[in-house]
Chain A
């Protein structure tokens, strides 16, 4: 079920109405659980069973970590994390294993290829891992504060945490220590309508007007179409795809944040104007923040982070980014993408340690251009999973100067990427007096975005990150 479908709007409306009826206030979690299961089951009902299996693993492991026999608590924690990862690896990476290690005619390879890929598995699995680790480590809370002694009540809370529909299938990856303490009765009078509406309008605008329109132009990045495009069109499409993937994912995250807020829950921000980054380190603090912070907290730091010497730090960076890349998809191109970013982070760290110079505005500007160009080129690995096609695209960019550019796509790519550019520029200008003077009239901008959502949406496309 897409956030942009009428069926989804109907589901939210009904859920909202039931949720805030005072008579049902004690059953708010249950109402959201039922809505979430309907949401998840809408396209593939049978995969709800997998979601429930994943939730069950987390319910049992976190409960027995809290109330089980002391000497087995670590075992339950390890089993919980291990089983979570096993489900993810089995369902998501079976085709990759089959293609890489088994012959086409192998019956086991064929069996692996038939494994369905449950939507959102990468997201809810990581949430489950954060739950088990947080409950075991008690770093943020005493586990008895979060895990009730009633198994039934605990099961309901965990099913709610993992299954809550705004973040169920494309994040943000909400950590247990951020979400669980928020679970309580919510009241309609406490809804921060301005925050809800702003997030929903920007989210739907980025998704429906920007991303859904841009996808019709970036479609031509695919093989073999790029072979007959001019250099200018190829560069424009790459720029367009960078903006599209941001608008699609950031838009979705903002919708998720707005929807969660509607029901009284706070999700962390998932994007913080990533394309103004002037370093790769900065980029990964601004892009898909929930994933990078998850990897930092639950993988990089346990591996030793930067505390075990320089070589180990570089290895940790590369390994975390390699796995982070592979998380995005069951194809080696994603692993390559992650590794490239890991290499960039390691190299940047190396140079920062060796050199120091004054970073003037011009230097920062150049660095920003470099980081953006690198990131954009790397996105090609998302759009063209076949590495030969990526090379072909870059080669076409270098060679197709003699093909006449097609102007209309250039115009539309510029028009639809303009909001993304403006969005980032406004962030840079937010301390300026002009910005503060115009801020009280921001409702006109939001109204215009809402107007364009109604009359200028592209055809609905699935969120790019659904495939992860």
Chain B
């Protein structure tokens, strides 16, 4: 029984690996959830040689909503639930460096996720994943099967694939979520932690700058109630202190533009389009 099991498992694996490598259609990929989406995005960046000398956006789920169609030569390496430091960690481990790193300011205090980094930088799986595509996150068969089921369901319901990202949650729920954000933003961040975070980031960015990489910072708009609360102000102030405006380019908030969010911090799809246009127009000042 043991030998039969091992042999049949080997046959399953080799068959799937060959299929994925040589015969799978382009749609044969899926990410099941936010965590896996992040892993797929990270692995696509790490294992793809074509991404060198590009502009890279790093940040959190706020930056993920930037509409990339209108930003050529730019890759969005922002991760939902993660942050700037996870993005920096990936950039550090790739040999080819980008031309420009566009860094989100809003959630800069979110610490690096050690579990994410352990998966991405697993030394035992790095080489196998590089060479055997079937071992990458986006090729998980159950994930793809789930995606197919969803496609069938949507076709039966005669609906399009995209989620209505402008759909509102309802006033009550929105108020609760905004209130949660107000509580979080009202807290003054621990000064030692802020100091350490920026010190660490500065040393990493100095390394990139020494290799000719340009650094740009940007702050995404949130609900107006949050923008002048202690946390947002503390982060902004620290950025200007450590990375002065006479040396670094900032895509700042435009006080004349008020954006609607779905939950206090995330832009809806339509607002993301408007913001991306503004973002793009600001970047033309530095010829990006």
| Measured CA separation A291–B242 after assembly (Å) | 55
**Do A450 and B9 touch across chains, with their CB atoms under 8 A apart?**
yes
CB-CB nearest in chain B for A7: B124
**Do A460 and B119 touch across chains, with their CB atoms under 8 A apart?**
yes
| Measured CA separation A227–B264 after assembly (Å) | 14
**Do A456 and B39 touch across chains, with their CB atoms under 8 A apart?**
no
Contacts A6-B124, A443-B8, A459-B119; is A451 near B167 (CB within 8 Å)? no
**Do B134 and A216 touch across chains, with their CB atoms under 8 A apart?**
no
Binding site for A on B (CB under 8 A): 1-2, 4-9, 11-13, 16, 32-36, 39, 115-116, 118-119, 122, 124, 134-135, 139-143, 145-146, 149-150, 153, 167, 169-170, 173, 176-177, 180, 263
Q: How far is the CB of A12 from chain B (nearest CB, A)?
A: 15
Most B-side CB within 10 Å, residue of A227, A442, A454 = A454
**B-side binding surface: helix, strand, loop or mixed?**
helix
**Do A411 and B149 touch across chains, with their CB atoms under 8 A apart?**
yes
Task: State which of B6, B135, B180 has its C-beta within 8 Å of the C-beta of A224.
Answer: B180
**Do A416 and B142 touch across chains, with their CB atoms under 8 A apart?**
yes
Q: How far is the CB of A21 from chain B (nearest CB, A)?
A: 22
Q: How far is the CB of B160 from chain A (nearest CB, A)?
A: 13
CB-CB nearest in chain A for B139: A455
Contacts of B116 in A (CB 8 A): 459
Q: How far is the CB of B99 from chain A (nearest CB, A)?
A: 31
Give 26 CB contacts A-B under 8 Å: A6-B124, A193-B2, A213-B32, A219-B35, A224-B177, A227-B176, A227-B177, A228-B263, A408-B32, A409-B33, A411-B146, A411-B150, A443-B5, A446-B1, A447-B9, A450-B5, A451-B9, A451-B13, A451-B16, A455-B13, A455-B16, A455-B135, A455-B140, A456-B141, A459-B35, A459-B115
| Measured CA separation A446–B12 after assembly (Å) | 11
Contacts A216-B32, A216-B36, A454-B13; is A415 near B5 (CB within 8 Å)? no
A353 at the interface (CB under 8 A from B): no
Most A-side CB within 10 Å, residue of B4, B5, B140, B177 = B5
CB-CB nearest in chain A for B137: A459
Contacts of A404 in B (CB 8 A): 167
**Do A408 and B146 touch across chains, with their CB atoms under 8 A apart?**
yes
Q: How far is the CB of B131 from chain A (nearest CB, A)?
A: 14
| Measured CA separation A213–B36 after assembly (Å) | 10
Contacts A452-B141, A455-B139, A456-B143; is A447 near B177 (CB within 8 Å)? no
Contacts of A415 in B (CB 8 A): 142, 145-146, 149
**Do A217 and B33 touch across chains, with their CB atoms under 8 A apart?**
yes
Binding site for B on A (CB under 8 A): 6, 193-194, 197, 201, 209, 213, 216-217, 219, 224, 227-228, 402-404, 407-409, 411-412, 415-416, 442-444, 446-448, 450-452, 454-456, 459-461
Most A-side CB within 10 Å, residue of B115, B135, B142 = B142
Q: How far is the CB of B52 from chain A (nearest CB, A)?
A: 27
Q: How far is the CB of B184 from chain A (nearest CB, A)?
A: 10
Q: How many A-B contacts at CB < 8 Å in the complex?
A: 108
Contacts of A407 in B (CB 8 A): 150, 153
Contacts of B7 in A (CB 8 A): 447
**Do A216 and B150 touch across chains, with their CB atoms under 8 A apart?**
no
Closest 3 CB pairs of A and B: A447-B8, A451-B12, A450-B9
Contacts of A412 in B (CB 8 A): 32-33, 142-143, 146
Contacts of B140 in A (CB 8 A): 455-456
Given A411-B149, A411-B150, A459-B119, output 16 extra A-B contacts at Cβ < 8 Å: A193-B2, A194-B1, A213-B142, A216-B32, A227-B176, A403-B173, A404-B167, A407-B150, A412-B33, A446-B9, A447-B9, A451-B9, A451-B12, A451-B13, A454-B135, A460-B119
**Do A455 and B134 touch across chains, with their CB atoms under 8 A apart?**
yes
Q: How far is the CB of A36 from chain B (nearest CB, A)?
A: 23
Task: State which of B2, B134, B263 has its C-beta within 8 Å of the C-beta of A194.
Answer: B2
Contacts of A461 in B (CB 8 A): 115
| Measured CA separation A464–B205 after assembly (Å) | 38
Contacts of B34 in A (CB 8 A): 216
Q: How far is the CB of A149 from chain B (nearest CB, A)?
A: 42
Q: How far is the CB of A441 from chain B (nearest CB, A)?
A: 9
| Measured CA separation A250–B167 after assembly (Å) | 41
Contacts of B11 in A (CB 8 A): 447
